Amino acid sequence: MALYSEKVMDHFRNPRNVGVIEDADGVGEVGNAKCGDIMKIYLKIRDGIVEDVKFETFGCGSAIASSSMATEMIKGRPLAEALRLSNRAVVEALDGLPAHKLHCSVLAEEAIKAAVRDYYEKNGIAYDPAEFSAGDCPSCCG
């Protein structure tokens, strides 16, 4: 069995939504000091919908694939759905990640939450801080 699924390899080799949105409505940046991965997510919101999303990721192939898949999963969706995106959903959409790479999917979830929180704060939108709590972070995150 291969270490990485075909979907992981496809999103690593051909990442979707790479780049910067200069006038982004929300920006979230997160990192993992243990592995050195850094993800930055940019959101363009119109009428409560994620109209556009871009990412910049400094990290391994799993981090890039997780960022790419996560952006695909929230593009065109309501903000509430984007906020509910879990790292497990990203892993499932990628047809799995090795256990020692699960933290990459956690970073994708956290970066999206950080970007949505930034959007809410910039626009004075009240929110429940519990919605932004850490996801199902595996023990590898340290």
**Residues labelled catalytic:** 35, 104
What phi and psi values does residue 86 have, to the nearest 5 degrees?
Answer: -105, 160
Return the HEC string of 50-103.
EEEEEEEEECCHHHHHHHHHHHHHHCCCEHHHHHHCCHHHHHHHCCCCCHHHHH
